Structure 1
Amino acid sequence: MQLKWLEWAKQIQAISQNGLAYSKDPYDIERFHQLRSLSLEIMNEYTGVETERIEGWFANEIGYATPKVDVRAVVFQEDRILLVKETIDGLWALPGGWADIGLTPSQIAVKEVREESGYEVEPIRLLAVLDKMCHPHPPSPFHVYKIFILCKLVGGEAKQSIETSETGFFPLDALPPLSTERNTESQIQAMYKAAADPLSPVIYD
């Protein structure tokens, strides 16, 4: 699933970030800055995005480098799954987003459903923890773990938000065009299967 140049750029970026976080030797610090610059050059060469912009969202973090966490809520109404239409690309996704500091994964799932769809839900159980690089997502500058939490619909009503323009429940055989940056059809199929079996083990990787 992973492009080799992107994998190398992310690994070089992580090594440089970790080195800058812990190294005390001035010569090593200089070398880690050089490594960070090299990762930016690789990203610029293959994407055409300006180096300054890449540095802003790819090589501007400090501290030990760890994967980012994306939480997605899996909500059913009978045999239909809740999806929201993303304003950023006009495509559909499970409600969710980046994990927030100070909130548990289940709290994030509930919050994201409320904010993006207008519905109120209760978390039921963890369905999956997936590594984005192991699935057919578009290339991403970040290493991302995706957490899928089954939630029960308990109230609310459909509404738009800053991030979403439509909300709907869809059967598996009639899914709308998906935002594959956020979720893939195979992942949604797996969530259907896992949610249907209360004894299903958590899917991982």
Structure 2
Amino acid sequence: MNKFQWLNWANELRSLALSGLFYCKDENLLKEYEKIRDLSYDIIEGYSSHSYEEIEEFFSKDAGYQTPKLDSRAAVFNENKILLVQENNGLWTLPGGWVEPDLSIKENIIKEVKEEAGLRVKPTRLIAIQDRKKHNRPIYIYDLCRFFVLCEYINGEFEENEETIKSGYFKLDNLPQLMTSKTNYKQIEMCFNAYNNLSSDVLFD
């Protein structure tokens, strides 16, 4: 059995409970759905390092039918080197982040690269859509789909910001220490393969 099966069970219970709480009109059933939701929090608390209060706060804005969260990552190249940004913890990753509710994947990519690297880019090609739990560790307590998008550089340079402290271009065989929870070596290699073979297929889980 998958050692993270407990998280799958907890998230399935939470999803069922939140759907019931959103659609059900029966007061007695609503109380039962609340118990199921709280049970899912108990499971996560019991198997993770998060407190019940942290879990409750994290999921406090969730309502209705549950779907994975979305994250977008930009692959920007210069002379066969890929752009990475260094976050405040000193680790490096592809520029990107949560997809905002009012933005498309393309619009979000443009926004994130401008905010984190100071660059204007043109998204040109979808490289892959990945189920995060199949590729990155540690496991998150929520489901996440990550979009990798090939982008063309237009202009700009790094600007000081709250999220990143530096940016740079790196060869595949000379990468800095990566924040593997967001970007690992295989994912950067995948981006290089897409950049060097523009006719390659879009990958998805």
* Equivalent position SS for 1:155: strand
Q: How does 1:6-45 map to 2 (within 5 A)?
A: 6-45=7-46
Q: C-alpha distance in 2, partners of 1:194/1:180?
A: 20
* Deviation at residue 121 of structure 1 after TM alignment: 0.8
* Deviation at residue 99 of structure 1 after TM alignment: 0.5
* Deviation at residue 136 of structure 1 after TM alignment: 3.3
State the partner residue of 2:161.
161
2:201 counterpart letter in structure 1:
P
1:66 counterpart letter in structure 2:
T
Q: C-alpha distance in 1, partners of 2:93/2:28?
A: 46
* Deviation at residue 4 of structure 1 after TM alignment: 1.4
Is this contact kept in 1: 2:136–2:183, CA < 8 A?
A: no
* Deviation at residue 77 of structure 1 after TM alignment: 0.8
2:130 counterpart letter in structure 1:
L
Is this contact kept in 2: 1:83–1:95, CA < 8 A?
A: yes
Q: C-alpha distance in 1, partners of 2:175/2:126?
A: 23
Q: C-alpha distance in 1, partners of 2:37/2:5?
A: 17
* Deviation at residue 179 of structure 1 after TM alignment: 1.1
Q: How does 1:45-60 map to 2 (within 5 A)?
A: 45-60=46-61
State the partner residue of 1:106.
106
Q: C-alpha distance in 2, partners of 1:166/1:38?
A: 43
Is this contact kept in 1: 2:136–2:181, CA < 8 A?
A: no
Q: C-alpha distance in 2, partners of 1:200/1:157?
A: 30
**1:135 maps to 2:135:** yes
Matched length: 204
CA deviation string 1:112-153 (max 9, x = no partner): 111001111111111111111221321101100101111001
State the partner residue of 1:176.
176
Unmatched runs of 5 consecutive residues or more in structure 2:
none
1:141 counterpart letter in structure 2:
I
Q: C-alpha distance in 1, partners of 2:125/2:43?
A: 40
* Deviation at residue 47 of structure 1 after TM alignment: 2.1
Q: C-alpha distance in 1, partners of 2:132/2:94?
A: 15
Unmatched runs of 5 consecutive residues or more in structure 1:
none
* Deviation at residue 2 of structure 1 after TM alignment: 6.7
Is this contact kept in 2: 1:137–1:184, CA < 8 A?
A: no
Structure 1 length-normalised TM = 0.94
Q: C-alpha distance in 2, partners of 1:19/1:82?
A: 44
* Deviation at residue 73 of structure 1 after TM alignment: 0.7
* Equivalent position SS for 2:166: strand
Going from structure 1 to structure 2, the CA distance change for 1:2 and 1:46 (only over 3 Å counts) comes to closer
Superposed CA RMSD in Å reads 1.5
Q: C-alpha distance in 1, partners of 2:16/2:36?
A: 8
State the partner residue of 1:188.
188
* Equivalent position SS for 1:121: strand
State the partner residue of 1:3.
4
State the partner residue of 2:149.
149
1:169 counterpart letter in structure 2:
Y
Going from structure 1 to structure 2, the CA distance change for 1:16 and 1:44 (only over 3 Å counts) comes to same
